[in-house]
């Protein structure tokens, strides 16, 4: 944990957040208690023999937050905090927490990296000066910095720690924004690759970001109203847009569509489709053409096509006819494509 932890009451902060991990909010990449081996700021892995013990202390402090008294005095260059308890056991746990958080700082083994504020503070521990003084009933910490931005982080963190003391687990379950950064969720959709279809939300800080070189085979089987765009094709446009701009950065991905079952006739050229369904046009072709221009490969099942009385010549020019959807699926998966079924 960052020195701030130790600083701003090291007790409530870091620890408490980690306790939340122990409560079942542990998840994948954060490491720390319940999340696998601890990780240093460089992302390295390493065993953490103290995790279980620290988690118990954090959990205990959260459960007994009503027995903790905390005051915060803002300084021009930081904060001065006093965290104590009249309960000797709680006071002892406060001191224990501070001690082991200091050890974590020295060993660059933080906790609660998923919280934006805590993660940001940890990136600037080299700019934080602190003085820890044990009292009879707890800990007094003075935390300062010569960097104005880090001072804001210290003060924001101190306020969050006070919320932990006031509300316990209820507050520890929350993430906390970095001061000066807009923490609001952007709710407008964007269309980075396919315009007008498959809108996505940009989430540059979310986990499980799109990976470059991803290969996806989308199995499209469901039919739709002949006069309307097949919603499965709309979803494929969203997949393309996700890789083109929903994450931190645009990444290249190989996406292939295989049409069979009820979706087979969606890829007929205009004239054949109109004759088959008595419509003015094939409502799928415009978006299919945009997907083709975006680099999406498209195949239709030759077996189903023939069974429905159609031939490869009846298919729009940018969709290839495979011997069968089965062979296309097997071949693509053998080439490393992840299989994604899309019935509708």
Question: What residue ranges do the domains of the chain occupy?
Answer: 3-172, 214-342
Mean pLDDT, rounded, of the chain:
84
pLDDT at 313: 98
End-to-end CA distance of the chain: 47
Average the pLDDT over 46-57 and give the result.
Answer: 74
- Percentage of residues in the chain with pLDDT exceeding 90? 64
pLDDT, tens digit (0-9, with 9 covering 90-100), for 264-312 = 999 999 999 999 999 999 999 999 999 999 999 999 999 999 999 999 9
Structure tokens at 128: 């934080």
Distance CA 258, CA 241 (A): 19
Confidence of residue 262 (pLDDT cuts 50, 70, 90): very high
Average the pLDDT over 24-46 and give the result.
Answer: 34
Whether 158 has a pLDDT exceeding 60, the answer reads: yes
Whether 197 has a pLDDT exceeding 70, the answer reads: yes
Distance CA 299, CA 46 (A): 47
Question: Is 126 in contact with 119 (CB distance < 8 Å)?
Answer: no
Whether 126 has a pLDDT exceeding 90, the answer reads: no
Distance CA 255, CA 78 (A): 52
Question: Is 65 in contact with 168 (CB distance < 8 Å)?
Answer: yes
pLDDT at 27: 34
Q: Mean pLDDT check: name the lowest of 4-13, 129-138, 151-160.
A: 4-13
Question: Is 231 in contact with 188 (CB distance < 8 Å)?
Answer: no
Average the pLDDT over 128-157 and give the result.
Answer: 92
Confidence of residue 29 (pLDDT cuts 50, 70, 90): very low
pLDDT at 108: 65
Confidence of residue 150 (pLDDT cuts 50, 70, 90): very high
pLDDT at 50: 79
Q: Mean pLDDT check: name the lowest of 26-40, 220-234, 285-299.
A: 26-40
User: How far is CA 266 from each of CA 26, 183, 240, 311, 341, rounded to the nearest angstrom?
Assistant: 45, 43, 19, 14, 17
Average the pLDDT over 259-266 and give the result.
Answer: 97
Confidence of residue 78 (pLDDT cuts 50, 70, 90): very high
- Percentage of residues in the chain with pLDDT exceeding 70? 82
Q: What are phi and psi of 46, to 5 degrees?
A: -170, 150
Question: Is 199 in contact with 190 (CB distance < 8 Å)?
Answer: yes
Distance CA 189, CA 201 (A): 5
Cα dihedral 307, 310, 313, 316 sign: negative
The SS3 of residue 43 is: coil
Distance CA 69, CA 87 (A): 11
Strand partners, 73: 80
Q: What are phi and psi of 69, to 5 degrees?
A: -110, 135
**Which is nearest to 121 in space by CA: 87, 145, 157, 91?**
157
We find that the CATH architecture of domain 214-342 is: 3-Layer(aba) Sandwich (3.40)
Average the pLDDT over 248-263 and give the result.
Answer: 96
Whether 52 has a pLDDT exceeding 90, the answer reads: no
> DSSP letters along 144-168, please?
E-SSHHHHHHHHHHHHHHHHHHHHT
- Ranked by mean pLDDT, the top range of 109-123, 127-141, 221-235 is 221-235
Structure tokens at 123: 């990136």
Torsion of CA 27, 32, 36, 37, to 10 degrees: 150
Question: Is 263 in contact with 311 (CB distance < 8 Å)?
Answer: no
């Amino acid at each position: 944990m960052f020195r701030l932890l130790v600083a701003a009451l090291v007790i409530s902060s870091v620890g408490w957040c980690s306790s939340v991990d122990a409560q079942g909010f542990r998840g994948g990449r954060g490491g720390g208690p319940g999340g696998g081996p601890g990780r240093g700021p460089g992302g390295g892995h390493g065993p953490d023999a103290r995790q279980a013990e620290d988690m118990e202390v954090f959990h205990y402090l959260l459960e007994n937050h009503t027995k903790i008294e905390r005051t915060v005095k803002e300084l021009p260059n930081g904060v001065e905090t006093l965290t104590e308890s009249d309960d000797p056991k709680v006071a002892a746990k406060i001191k224990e927490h501070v001690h082991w958080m200091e050890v974590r700082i020295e060993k660059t083994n933080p906790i609660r990296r998923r919280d934006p504020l805590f993660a940001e503070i940890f990136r600037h521990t080299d700019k934080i000066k602190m003085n820890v003084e044990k009292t009879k009933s707890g800990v007094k910490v003075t935390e300062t910095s010569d960097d104005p931005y880090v001072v804001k982080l210290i003060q924001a963190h101190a306020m969050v720690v006070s919320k932990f003391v006031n509300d316990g687990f209820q507050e520890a379950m929350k993430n906390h924004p970095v001061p000066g950064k807009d923490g609001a969720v952007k709710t407008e959709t964007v269309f980075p690759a396919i315009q007008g279809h498959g809108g996505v939300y940009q989430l540059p800080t979310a986990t499980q970001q799109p990976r470059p070189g991803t290969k996806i085979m989308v199995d499209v089987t469901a039919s739709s109203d002949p006069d309307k765009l097949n919603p499965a094709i709309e979803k494929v446009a969203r997949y393309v847009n996700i890789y083109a701009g929903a994450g931190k950065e645009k990444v290249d991905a190989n996406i292939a569509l295989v049409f069979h079952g009820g979706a087979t006739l969606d890829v007929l050229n205009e004239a054949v489709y109109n004759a088959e369904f008595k419509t003015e046009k094939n409502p799928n072709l415009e978006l299919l053409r945009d997907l083709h221009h975006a680099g999406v490969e498209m195949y239709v099942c030759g077996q189903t096509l023939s069974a429905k009385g159609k031939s490869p010549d009846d298919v729009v020019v940018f969709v290839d006819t495979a011997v069968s959807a089965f062979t296309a699926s097997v071949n693509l998966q053998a080439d490393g494509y992840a299989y994604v079924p899309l019935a509708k």
